[in-house]
Structures are given as structure tokens and as C-alpha cells.
Structure 1
Amino acid sequence: MPPENPYGALLREIPVQRGEADVLGGRTAYWTYGPPDAEVTVLAVHGFRGEHHGLEPVVAYLPGIRVVMPDLPGFGETPPLPARTHDLDAYAEWLTAFAAATAPGAVVLGHSFGSIVAAAAVTGGLSTPALILVNPIGAPALEGPRGVMTRLAIAYYTVAARLPARAGDALLRNPAIVRVMSATMAKTRDRRLRAFVHDQHDTYFSRFADRDVLHDAFVTSVSHDVREFAPAVDVPTLLVAAQKDDITPIEKERELRTLFPDARLVEIPAVGHLIHYETPHAAASAIQEFLADVTTR
């Protein structure tokens, strides 16, 4: 029996509908949470190897806000983009087209890898009144406090890409390796919450289409960071960062804030790269306060 979802009761109070949109010649699956007549709509983009479920705990604490959450191409229920390399240009173009089709004028939110995609899309022409980045990738991955782990991850994905297809796919979906990734990122000491986090990763971390898409996305995730786009972001921006993040140290997040023309930084203590699972209430509170400010300007 899977562990209890600590945010399940709140989520059950929020209406949700599944939809599909034709984007760049492919089909994108997405979910819309909250009232259809809400004053504010947020378009939320999940992180690497994840899917829309990962951001649901944050949505649980955003009642009254309409949130549109797609599965990225090649992940969850969204097939890969036809005849495309899944690099940053492709993901940014996809997000821009998806926003135009389903949530024009929405506030854009990106988590982790989604922060890179969101920032690239906004500076590339995606129109939005504001940008929210949760656990933003604010520095090259190899500069993080666990650069050795990043090098091991690069080796892991490289080997998987070079093995015969079946063997490479099995390596990428190996449950023991997925659990190591989950245990490395989790910071909470709450046993029930850790069990929930691990179950989420066990359930959703291997729902990628194939190893080629996953390799493309991984290369993109370690080849770019938000710094290269920050100076060109011309809308108010909220950075929600973790003080124990192993991917981007908090010192780098503080530096990242200074690169934006108009940005604020909210730091959450005692959590790492899993703000969306471990401290979603704190993230949602920061988001609500930010949205209240930018919608009254």
C-alpha cells in the first residue's frame, strides 16, 4: 500500500480537469486546477524526470488560483515532439506555443529544470505579467555543493545512452538508482514525508518516453542555467530558493537575484531541492504574496 499523501485532503477540495492540446505537431497532456473564473492563472512547468504530479502539493495551498500544468514533451502522458531534438530551443518553443493555446497571459512558473525552460521562453517572446522560479537552477550544475554527484550523473546518462537500447532503458529506470536519487535530495527527517517523497519518485520518475528524450533533456539541464537569461527578463520575478539545495547553493541564488532587473528572493530553510514536496506551504505563501503585489501594480 502506498504511503498517505499528506496533501491529499487539500487537493481533493480543488477541482481538476484533464485536457489535451495540439502543440508543434504533437499532443500535450495538461491538467487545470482551480476555478475556471479565477482572477489569476498560473502556468506551471515541472522539473527534470518529473511530471505534473510533482507540483500538486504546491497547488494544494493555492486555492482560488487557476493553475494549468502540462507534462513536458517526452514525460508523463505527453509524447515526444515529432522529429525534434529535445533541447532548450525545442522546450522553450513548445512552452510558448502551449501557453498561447491554453493559458494566454498566465503567470509563468518553473521548477528546477522548468525554471530554465520558463526563463528561456519568457526572454524568447512568451508574454507573461510575471515569472516565478522555484528551486531555480542558478549556476552550472558542476559548481554545486555536490559536483561529484553531478559528474556521476553525467556518467550514468552517458553510459545509458551508449548501451543497447533495452539495457540502457533498464539502467535509466532501475528502481535502486531512482531511490538513491530520491534519498540524496530529500532533507526532511519526517519518516512519513520521506516515504511519500520516495513513493512519488518511484511512481513518476521513470515515466519518460524513451532514453533518447531523457538524454536530450539531461544534456539540456546541465548545459544551461537561469543566469544566461536573467538580465533579459523584463517582468517582475520571484525566486523561491532552498537554503540546503545541493543543485544550486543559496549563495548562488542570492547572486542570481541581482542579475534580474526586478526580482525578489524568498529563502526557505531546512529544505533542499524538493521544496515542492517538503515545504509546499511556504512556497505557496511566497507565491500568493507575490501574485497579490504584481496583480495590483
Structure 2
Amino acid sequence: MPAPHPYAALLDEIPVTRREAPVLGGTTVFWEYGPADAPVTIVAVHGFRGEHHGLEPVVAYLPDVRVISPDLPGFGETAPVPARRHDLALYAEWLTDFVAQIAPGAVILGHSFGSIVVSAAVAGGLATPRVILVNPIGAPALEGPRGVLTRLAVFYYWAGARMPSRAGTALLRNGVVVRVMSVSMAKTKDPELRRFIHDQHDTYFSRFADRDVLHDAFVTSVSHDVREFAPQISQPTLLIAAERDDITPIEAERVLAGLFADANLVEIPDVGHLIHYETPQVAAAAVRSFLGLDELGTR
């Protein structure tokens, strides 16, 4: 039985429409939340192995904002881009084309792996008035507080890509491994919230198209970080970081903030790499303040 969704009642009040768009020769599936005539539009880019559902808890606290939330190519309902390697260049090009077609001039938000994609795209010329990075990857993943686990992950994805197809795919979708990942990231001691987080990962963490796309995306996630692109981003940037993040320590996030021309760092205590699940209301409040929205839409 699925775990109770703690943000369902709020989401039920927000209109949502599933849409599709041709991008780079493929079809990108995305969801549009909130009023079409909202004063602000945000394009929200999810993290590694995730899809659009992961950012819904934050959307739940932005009822008066138009949020465009696509599934990245090769994840969720969006098929891989034909005849392309799914590296950072591909994802940055895809995001730039997607935004130009669907929401030109939108604020761009990226979570985790999405923070790398967003930063690369904006540094490469994606036009946007403001940038929001949640749990930004602000240092090499292999140097994080759990570098040993990251090295194990490198071996895991390498093995999944090298084994015979059926066995490799089964390994990469193995429920026990997914649960270990989920347990390692969750910091909340609320049993119901932990159950929800694990259910979300069980349901959506293996919705990748194939092992090649997953491997390409993983290699990208551990080969790049936001520091590469921060000095080239002139737009006002909001960094929403967690004090207990096991992937990028908060000290590294503070250094990262100094690399931008104009950055504001919000630090959230008692949470790790799952701000979007554990403290979405706090994250949404930071977004509202950064965008200058009034308090009429808060809940």
C-alpha cells in the first residue's frame, strides 16, 4: 500500500496539466502547475534518477506560481534523445531549447543533479532573470562527507553497465539498493515522513529508460559540479542548502556562494540532501522571498 502523501491536500488545490513538446528530435513530457496567468513562471529541473514528482512537495507551497516541471530525457515519461549521448552538453542543450520553446524568460530552478544542468545551461547562454539551486552540487561528489559511498556507487553503476543487459538492468533497478540509497539520504526522524520518502524512491527512482542513459547521467553527476559554471552566471542566484547534506558539505556551499556574481545562500538545519521532501515549505518560503512574491499565496 502506498504511503500517505503529506502534501497531497495542498497539491489537490493546484491545477495541473500534462503536456508534451518536441525537443531535439525527441518528445519531452512536462507538467504545468498553477495559474496560467501567474506573475512568475519557474521551470523546475529534477535530480538524478528522479522525475517531476520529486519536486511536487515544493510546488505544493507555491500555489500562485506557474511551475513547468519536465521529466529529464531518459527519465520518467520522457524518452532519451535519439542518437545522442546523455552527457552534460546534451542536458544543457535540451534545457535551453525546452525553455526557449515552452517558457521563455522563466526563472530556472534545479535540484541536485538538476543544479548542474541548470548552471551549465545558464552559463552557456540560457536566458533567465533569476536562478534557484536547491541542494546544489557545490563540490566533487567523490570528496563529499560520504565519499566512500560515492565510490561504491561508481562501482555499482559501472557494474550495471558492464553486466549482461538483463542482469545489469535488474541490478540497477534492485529494490534493496534503492532502499539503501533512500535510507542513507533521509535525515528526518518522523516515521510517516520517512515512509513517504522511501515510497517515493521505490516508486519513481527506477523509472529510467535504460541502463546506458542512467550510466551516462551518473558519470555526468560525478564528473561536474556547479563551481565550474558559477563565475559565468551574472543573474541573481538563490542557493538553498542543507546543513547535513552528505553530498556537498555546508562549508563547500558557503564557498560556492562566493563564486557567483550575485548569490544569496539560505541554510536549512536538520536536513540533508532531501530538502524537497523533508523541508519543502521552508524551501518554498525562501523562493517566495527571493522572487519578491507577496504572502497572499502562502499556506
How does 1:49-68 map onto structure 2 within 5 Å? 49-68=49-68
Deviation at 1:63?
1.2
How does 1:89-128 map onto structure 2 within 5 Å? 89-128=89-128
- Give the Cα separation in 1 of the matches to 2:83 and 2:69: 24
The 3-state SS of whatever aligns with 1:138 is coil
- Give the Cα separation in 1 of the matches to 2:78 and 2:141: 27
1:53 counterpart letter in structure 2: H
Q: What corresponds to 1:271 in structure 2? A: 271
Normalization by structure 2: what TM-score? 0.98
1:37 counterpart letter in structure 2: D
Would you say 1:79 and 2:73 are equivalent positions?
Answer: no
- Give the Cα separation in 2 of the matches to 1:24 and 1:159: 30
Q: What corresponds to 1:14 in structure 2? A: 14
1:206 counterpart letter in structure 2: S
1:192 counterpart letter in structure 2: E
Q: What corresponds to 2:234 in structure 1? A: 234
How does 1:37-52 map onto structure 2 within 5 Å? 37-52=37-52
How does 1:56-205 map onto structure 2 within 5 Å? 56-205=56-205
Deviation at 1:67?
0.2
- Deviation string for 1:56-92 (max 9, x for gaps)? 0000000100000000000000000000000000000
Q: What corresponds to 1:221 in structure 2? A: 221
- Give the Cα separation in 1 of the matches to 2:76 and 2:180: 21
Deviation at 1:286?
0.2
Q: What corresponds to 2:260 in structure 1? A: 260
- Give the Cα separation in 1 of the matches to 2:42 and 2:158: 35
- Give the Cα separation in 2 of the matches to 1:150 and 1:97: 32
- Give the Cα separation in 1 of the matches to 2:168 and 2:2: 28
The 3-state SS of whatever aligns with 1:61 is coil
Q: What corresponds to 1:206 in structure 2? A: 206
1:123 counterpart letter in structure 2: A
Identity of aligned residues (%): 74
- Give the Cα separation in 2 of the matches to 1:44 and 1:148: 30
The 3-state SS of whatever aligns with 1:2 is coil
- Deviation string for 1:104-154 (max 9, x for gaps)? 100000000000000000011110000000000000001100000000000
The 3-state SS of whatever aligns with 2:128 is coil
The 3-state SS of whatever aligns with 2:258 is helix
- Deviation string for 1:221-250 (max 9, x for gaps)? 000000000000010000000000000000
1:82 counterpart letter in structure 2: P
- Give the Cα separation in 2 of the matches to 1:68 and 1:141: 28
Q: What corresponds to 1:34 in structure 2? A: 34
Deviation at 1:174?
0.2
- Give the Cα separation in 2 of the matches to 1:103 and 1:180: 37
Would you say 1:281 and 2:275 are equivalent positions?
Answer: no
- 5+ residue gaps, structure 1, are none
- Give the Cα separation in 2 of the matches to 1:48 and 1:253: 19
- Deviation string for 1:173-220 (max 9, x for gaps)? 000000000000000000000000000000000000000000000000
- Deviation string for 1:236-270 (max 9, x for gaps)? 00000000000000000000000000000000000
